Structure 1
Amino acid sequence: MHSANYISTIDRYHEQSRSIRELIESIITGIGEPRLLSDPSGLRGVTEKLIDLYPFVDLVYLLDEDGVQVAEYGADETGHVNRAHGQGRGVDRSQRPYFKRAAESENVHLTEPYLSAASRDLCISATVRLEHGGKVGYLVIDVDLEAMISFLLGDTMRRRVEPFFRGLYALFAAAMLLVAGVLFYSSMSELVHALMEPGWASELQLKPFEVIVVLTLAMAIFDLAKTVFEEEVLLEKDVHRHSTVRRTMTRFVAAILVAILIEGLLTMFKVSMGYSDQGVTATLMVFAAAALLVALGLYVYLGALAEKALLGNNGRSRRLRNVRDKEEH
């Protein structure tokens, strides 16, 4: 129902690039045994252990000296290992950048994030050169970048139960839409009744206010349901970023603010026409809405400053890490 937030994933990759690189390098060097070149079937056992320990690993495959794929295993939808449909076996990957880079170096080569042709998710490929008995080959693993970042952030359990929460939010949004529909139907019925049987002039003047009050409430509930459905069901949210929480909070408060203002203004109109004596209440509602608007503006401003400072610190930290990496190499 929702699409992946690729921009958020790439931003997280740049923030955690050093940790991601170190983890992938440790994984592929740990399993990169030269015996795999003479025993490709042993790759299945290696893949089983990998996926059991690191659920973000998608594919593990071998290339011969010429870049032709000779074996491939991957995780299916249930998390079990199988031969990846045999689609990659025999494919010439000698023109792939990761193969060319690995052929020129003895070190582990990592690609930048790219969209996988199989899963359409962002992934990273790591390649290491193997030699055994005069035979040369290359071990390659593909990892799901979003799943790996969740693994590093300790967010795996939340992602597993997220579909359940999305379903609950969808039910809540649907229920609120039904309530808004009932209120809309009620207000339209009152309006039609007023037109068909106008009654006394005073009643006819008061009836539109009653209709507007119900319509305003229906609109506020509809806007709230729309916000819940968009934010919690349709959009892929990055709960680790304050900007996401701030956006959701802003939309919720804005919907409530509009409803309060409209109700306050309608009450004032009724007071001015002599149909109500709740002038003090109406004034307090308008002042409350104004105070809520000021508080919302302050919240958005301070939240933006805090996130800007945090991103600035992260940027400086990344630059320092890059400098240290260059000095080490």
Structure 2
Amino acid sequence: MNELLEIYEQNRFFIESFLKDTILNTTSNLLSEHNLKHLFEYFKSLELIYVVDNESKTQISPNYYRNKEDGNEKGKSRQYLFKKIDFKNSLMSTPYKSSATGNICITLAIPQNEKTLFLDFNLKTLLERLKLLETHTVFDSTTKLFYALSGFFMMFLSFSILAYSVYEIFKYGELSIMSFFKPIIYITIAIAIFDLSKTLLEQEVFFKSFKKDENIEKKTFVKFIISILIALSIEALMLVFKISLKNISLMSNAFWLFAGISLMIATLTFFIKTNKNI
């Protein structure tokens, strides 16, 4: 999914110019409502066409698909489209997941006096047709399936760890301050694993955001490391308590553990400072 967004952003001007020039110059005779379906013959990536009234911002035509026509959307408000598309500088939306087709698409707006024609293009197919993307269906499907299974399995692990942390509190039958330390560590690790699985599923399996966050990997890495540092700090604190109660001569072990944690915190701080956009 990230690859699609990166290629689109790198070639946005070319893609927009190609679509506008082709539609306005080559197929301008097809822009009347009774000829709209013929546009599908020129654009293999085109998947949806509809017309919106400029004054009321409501849809005044059915949804025209490649092989069917749906009149249920007629009369619905499309106010959000006029906010999503910058009509002064660009007539194209950012990539988004279409509620009509379920595919990642971009919308091109063609103003026409009192109405506006909206054309939805399948982003993946469009990039392939323009020779900007080369795909292998079997490999892509296998990769997506692997990421989905891995993400959901990590989510299952995080919930299992969360449930086990509750069991840890009550398994000895009596509560003490020490009985809460390990569950807190387990919960912290569960949060770290859940955040990692959530990011994996959002970025590689499901499409959530309209635009790619270039720092999402760094943000996820920082959140994961912070969670691990919290768990290690609590473990180090537990070690100090245990050593102080049983054998004070082993306190140097706790010192080296704290020293290692401090070094990790210093390294993470340096990483964040050198990546100010995180």
**TM band (smaller chain):** 0.5 to 0.7
Contact map agreement 1:176 1:225 (CA 8 A) in 2: yes
Distance of 2:240 and 2:259 partners within structure 1: 13
Alpha-carbon distance change, 259 to 162 in structure 1, aligned in 2, over 3 angstroms: same
Q: CA deviation at 1:255?
A: 0.5
Q: What residue in structure 2 maps to residue 221 of structure 1?
A: 189
Check the 8 A contact 2:16/2:92 in 1, yes or no.
no
The one-letter code of the counterpart of 2:254 is A
1:266 to 227, 238, 261: 238
Distance verdict in 2 for CA 1:147–1:274, change over 3 Å: same
| Partner SS state of residue 189, structure 2 | helix
Q: Is the 8 A contact 1:113 1:124 kept in 2?
A: yes
Q: How does 1:1-329 map to 2 (within 5 A)?
A: 17-29=12-24, 32=27, 34=29, 40=35, 43=38, 46-48=39-41, 50-51=43-44, 54=45, 57-60=46-49, 73-74=64-65, 81-86=66-71, 111=91, 113=93, 123-127=106-110, 140=117, 142-144=119-121, 154=133, 162=144, 165-190=147-172, 192=173, 194=174, 209=178, 211-233=179-201, 236=208, 241-275=213-247, 277-304=249-276
Q: Would you say how many aligned residue pairs link Structure 1 and Structure 2?
A: 245
CA distance in 1, matches of 2:67, 2:8: 28
Give the Å deviation of 1:177: 1.7
Question: Could you say what secondary structure the match of 1:113 adopts?
Answer: coil
Change in 2 beyond 3 A, CA 1:90/1:224? closer
CA offsets 1:143-169 (integer angstroms, 9 cap, x no match): 258768977874977986657624531
Alignment partner of 1:111: what SS?
Answer: coil
The structure-2 alpha-carbon separation of the partners of 1:257 and 1:89, relative to structure 1 and needing over 3 Å to count, comes to closer
CA spacing shift, 1:253–1:42, aligned 2, 3 Å: closer
Contact 1:173 1:226 (C-alpha < 8 Å) held by counterparts: yes
Partner of 1:78: none
Q: Within 2, Cα distance between the matches of 1:234 and 1:140?
A: 31
Rounded Cα–Cα distance in structure 1 between residues aligned with 2:181 and 2:270: 30
Shift, 1:259, TM fit: 0.7
Report the residue type matching 2:16 in the other structure. R
Q: Over residues 255-313 of structure 1, what are the superposed CA-to-partner deviations in whole Å (9 max), with x where a residue is unaligned?
A: 000011111121112222235654222111111111111111111221226x8xxxxxx
Ranges in structure 2 where 5+ consecutive residues have no aligned partner? 53-58, 83-88
* TM norm structure 1: 0.55
Is contact 1:62-1:139 (8 Å) kept? yes
The 3-state SS of whatever aligns with 2:246 is coil
Amino acid at match of 2:232: I
Q: Against the structure 1 CA distance between its residues 183 and 60, is the aligned structure 2 distance closer, same or farther, given a 3 Å change threshold?
A: closer
Task: Mark the runs of 5 or more structure 1 residues left unpaired by the alignment.
Answer: 1-8, 75-80, 98-108, 130-137, 196-206, 308-329
- C-alpha distance in 2, partners of 1:218/1:246? 24
Contact 1:58-1:141 within 8 A present in 2 as well: no
CA distance in structure 2 between the aligned counterparts of 1:275 and 1:48, rounded to whole angstroms? 82
**1:216-238 alpha-carbon deviations (Å, 9 max, x no partner):** 33222222233234433468368
Alignment-mate amino acid for residue 183 of structure 2: L
Larger radius of gyration: 1
233-242 vs 249-258, greater mean Cα deviation = 233-242
Does the residue aligned with 1:124 lie in a helix, a strand or coil? strand
Q: Identity of counterpart residues, as a percentage? A: 14
Q: For the residues of structure 1 that align with 2:40 and 2:31, how far apart are their CA atoms?
A: 12
CA-CA distance at 1:41 after TM superposition:
8.6
The Cα RMSD (Å) is 5.0
Looking at structure 2, the residues matched to 186 and 48 of structure 1 have their Cα atoms a distance apart, in angstroms, of: 64
CA displacement at 1:182 relative to structure 2: 1.9
Deviation at 1:254, TM superposition (A): 0.4
**Runs ≥4 in structure 1, deviation > 6 angstroms?**
11-15, 35-39, 68-72, 88-91, 114-117, 119-122, 148-153, 155-160
